[in-house]
């Protein structure tokens, strides 16, 4: 796919793994540049890529909803760049304060240095795997919400994740609506469990 190539709405949906409603929301919010040609929208691939990669440097540009409202702080961990980018853009557009790590070692370093409300981590990564990251997150905070990302279901992984108190999971490939629903549910279940403690 050439950088100066124009993409159709369907191609953008496939490229970002989002639904039509999300694409229209992103256009309306001015997050992705689009040109209307007749009754169709067209997008330049280089604009989509710039928006995706720019999201990593502008995660903190979205102001809090109101002076008294604290945004949930999220750490995304995945060794696949495109997965990190999609999660960063999706969560930042929903007003989460998002940071990312490309591997387990960096994630553990970040968990030790900063408090996060939600950890979203891939299970299978080279070097330090996601379950090791989850164990470290639990050592750092008993109240952190945790969502695991998995490409293939494994009974052993599922049992260990449950034993570690994981609040939810995402199965690849996943869409934007699923990410937001799982994140909200995980944060809600963590708040409820801390109230009942």
How buried is 49 (Cβ within 10 angstroms: 0-12 exposed, 13-18 middle, 19+ buried)?
Answer: middle
pLDDT higher than threshold 80 for residue 157? no
Residue 63 domain flag: no
pLDDT digits (tens, 9 = 90+) for 101-141: 999 999 999 999 999 999 999 998 999 999 999 999 999 99
Report the CATH number at residue 18.
1.10.10.10
pLDDT higher than threshold 70 for residue 189? no
More confident residue, 194 or 125: 125
Mean pLDDT across 18-40: 73
Split into its structural domains, the chain has a count of 2
| CA–CA distance, 181 with 157 (Å, rounded to integer) | 22
pLDDT number for residue 29 = 67
81 and 109 housed in the same domain = yes
Q: How many helical (H) and strand (E) elements, i.e. helices and strands, does the chain have?
A: 8, 8
98 and 157 housed in the same domain = yes
120 and 183 housed in the same domain = yes
27 and 78 housed in the same domain = no
Residue 77 domain flag: yes
46 and 87 housed in the same domain = no
43 and 110 housed in the same domain = no
32 and 82 housed in the same domain = no
Report the CATH number at residue 152.
3.40.50.2300
37 and 93 housed in the same domain = no
Asked whether the whole model's pTM tops 0.85, one would answer no
Residue from 1, 118, 109, 131 nearest 70 by CA: 118
Provide the residue range defining the domain that includes 173: 73-196
The long-range contacts involving 188-196, CB below 8 angstroms and separated by at least 24 positions, are 189/145, 190/117, 190/118, 190/143, 190/144, 190/145, 193/143, 194/143
pLDDT number for residue 169 = 85
149 and 100 housed in the same domain = yes
pLDDT digits (tens, 9 = 90+) for 112-121: 999 999 999 9
């Amino acid at each position: 796919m050439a950088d100066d190539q124009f993409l159709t709405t369907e191609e953008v949906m496939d490229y970002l793994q989002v639904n039509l409603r999300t694409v229209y929301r992103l256009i309306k919010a001015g997050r992705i540049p689009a040109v209307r040609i007749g009754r169709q929208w067209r997008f330049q691939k280089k604009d989509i890529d710039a928006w995706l990669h720019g999201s990593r440097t502008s995660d903190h540009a979205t102001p809090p909803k109101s002076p008294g409202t604290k945004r949930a702080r999220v750490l995304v961990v995945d060794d696949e760049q495109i997965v990190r980018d999609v999660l960063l853009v999706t969560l930042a557009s929903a007003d989460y304060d998002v940071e990312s790590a490309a591997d387990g070692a960096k994630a553990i370093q970040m968990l030790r240095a900063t408090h996060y409300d939600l950890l979203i981590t891939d299970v299978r990564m080279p070097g330090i795997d996601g379950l090791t990251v989850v164990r470290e997150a639990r050592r750092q905070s008993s109240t952190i919400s945790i969502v695991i990302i998995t490409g293939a279901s494994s009974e052993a992984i599922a049992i260990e994740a449950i034993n570690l108190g994981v609040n939810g999971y995402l199965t690849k490939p996943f869409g934007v609506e699923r990410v937001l629903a799982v994140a909200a549910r995980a944060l809600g279940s963590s708040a409820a469990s801390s109230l009942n403690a």
